[in-house]
Structure 1
Amino acid sequence: MVTMPRPDAAIRDALLTTLLAAAAVAAALAWPGTRPLDAGGLLLLVGAHLPLAVIRRRPALALVALVLLTLPYHLLQYQHHALIPAEVIALFSYAVFGRRVRAVLTVVGLLLFVCVITMALRAGGGSVREQIAVIEAVVSVVIAVQVWRSHRARLATITERAERAERTREEEARRRVAEERLRIARDLHDLLAHSITVIGVQAGAAAHLVAGDRPLDRAELAEALGSIAATCREARTELRGTLQVLRGTDVGGPAELPGPDAIPGLVDAARAAGLEVALSADGAAGAPPEIGVAAYRIVQEALTNVVKHAGARRVAVTLAREERGLVVRVADDGRGPSGAAPEGFGILGMIERARSVGGTLDAGPGEDGGFVVAAVLPATALSTGAPPDVPSGEEPVTPR
Structure 2
Amino acid sequence: MRRFASPHQPTAPKARHAGGPLTRRRQDAALAVLIVVMQVIAACIVGKSWQAPHPARIALIVVGAAFLLWRRGRPLPVTAGTVVADIAMLTVPPHQSWVPMASLVALYTLATQSERRTSWSAGAAAGLWLALASVLIRPGEILGSLVYFDYAVVAVAVGDSVRNRRAYLAQAEKRALQAERTREEEARRRVREERVRIARDLHDVVTHHITLVNAQAGVARHLMRTDPDKAYQALSHIAETSAAALTELRSTVSLLRQDDDPSPSLQPAPSLDRLNQLLDSFRGGGLGVRLSRDGTHRPATALADLTAYRIIQEALTNAQKHSTTPTADVKLTYTDTTLWISITNPASPHHRGAGTGHGLINMRERAEAASGTLTASLRPDNTFRVYATLPLAPVKDDHS
Q: TM-score range by the shorter chain?
A: 0.5 to 0.7
CA distance in 2, matches of 1:189, 1:32: 97
Match of residue 198, structure 1, among 202, 212, 237: 212
- 1:242 is matched with 252
- 1:396 is matched with none
Q: Is 1:5 paired with 2:20?
A: yes
After superposition, residues 135-146 of structure 1 pair within 5 angstroms as 135-146=149-160
After superposition, residues 273-288 of structure 1 pair within 5 angstroms as none
Q: Could you tell me how far 1:48 is from its partner in structure 2? A: 0.6
Counterpart contact for 1:2–1:56, Cα < 8 Å: no
Instruction: Tell me the TM-score normalized by structure 2.
Output: 0.53
- 2:139 is matched with 124
One-letter amino acid of the structure 1 residue matched with residue 254 of structure 2:
Q
Match of residue 52, structure 1, among 53, 56, 68: 68
Where structure 1 has 5 or more consecutive residues not aligned to the other structure, the ranges are 255-400
Counterpart contact for 1:2–1:59, Cα < 8 Å: no
Counterpart contact for 2:124–2:152, Cα < 8 Å: no
Q: Could you tell me how far 1:117 is from its partner in structure 2? A: 3.1
One-letter amino acid of the structure 2 residue matched with residue 220 of structure 1:
K
- 1:220 is matched with 230
CA distance in 1, matches of 2:82, 2:120: 15
Q: Could you tell me how far 1:152 is from its partner in structure 2? A: 2.3
Q: Is 1:19 paired with 2:34?
A: yes
One-letter amino acid of the structure 1 residue matched with residue 98 of structure 2:
H
Counterpart contact for 1:25–1:46, Cα < 8 Å: no
Counterpart contact for 1:92–1:145, Cα < 8 Å: yes
Match of residue 108, structure 2, among 75, 92, 95: 92
Whichever of the two has the greater Rg, that structure is 1
One-letter amino acid of the structure 1 residue matched with residue 263 of structure 2:
V
Counterpart contact for 2:109–2:159, Cα < 8 Å: no
Equivalent position SS for 1:166: helix
One-letter amino acid of the structure 2 residue matched with residue 239 of structure 1:
L
CA distance in 2, matches of 1:216, 1:253: 39
Cα distance change of structure 1 residues 207 and 94 upon mapping to structure 2, 3 Å threshold: farther
Q: Which stretch shifts more, 151-160 or 47-56?
A: 151-160
Instruction: Tell me the TM-score normalized by structure 1.
Output: 0.53
Per-residue deviation, residues 225-245 of structure 1 (Å, max 9, x unmatched): 112111110011112222333
One-letter amino acid of the structure 2 residue matched with residue 177 of structure 1:
V
Per-residue deviation, residues 108-158 of structure 1 (Å, max 9, x unmatched): 212222123313532232x33432332222211122222222222233333
CA distance in 2, matches of 1:14, 1:59: 15
Q: Percent identity over the alignment?
A: 32
Cα distance change of structure 1 residues 189 and 145 upon mapping to structure 2, 3 Å threshold: same
- 2:199 is matched with 185
Match of residue 263, structure 2, among 251, 257, 262: 251
Per-residue deviation, residues 8-61 of structure 1 (Å, max 9, x unmatched): 43234323322321221221122479xx95333322221010022232344344
Higher helix share: 1
Q: Could you tell me how far 1:75 is from its partner in structure 2? A: 5.8
CA distance in 2, matches of 1:15, 1:54: 13
Cα distance change of structure 1 residues 124 and 233 upon mapping to structure 2, 3 Å threshold: same
Cα distance change of structure 1 residues 51 and 80 upon mapping to structure 2, 3 Å threshold: farther
Where structure 2 has 5 or more consecutive residues not aligned to the other structure, the ranges are 1-14, 267-400
CA distance in 2, matches of 1:167, 1:195: 42
- 1:258 is matched with none
Aligned residues: 244
Cα distance change of structure 1 residues 121 and 109 upon mapping to structure 2, 3 Å threshold: same
